[in-house]
Amino acid sequence: MTTATYEVKGMTCTHCVGSVTAEVETVEGIRVLNVDVDAGRLEVESSAEVDDAAVLAAVEEAGYEASRL
């Protein structure tokens, strides 16, 4: 199991959290994710190596910008 943390810009409410969660959950291998709107952070756990490109694309699809920390 691997873990990765991302900074997500633009999240302001629980709706934002829901949007990011829904998109990132579609990334293959993601088992657990935690979105912290106050900290602007996304943490994911994956059964294999985390596919940064897929996670970043999912966050972008939700309408936000992200970068890996």
- Each residue of 35-68: pLDDT tens digit? 999 999 999 999 889 999 999 999 999 999 999 9
- Residue 63, phi then psi, degrees to nearest 5: 105, 20
Q: What is the CATH number for 14?
A: 3.30.70.100
> What local confidence, expressed as pLDDT, does residue 47 receive?
87
d(CA 32, CA 13): 20
d(CA 39, CA 27): 22
Note the pTM of the prediction, 2 decimals: 0.93
Q: Which domain holds residue 23?
A: 2-68
Task: Specify the number of domains making up the chain.
Answer: 1
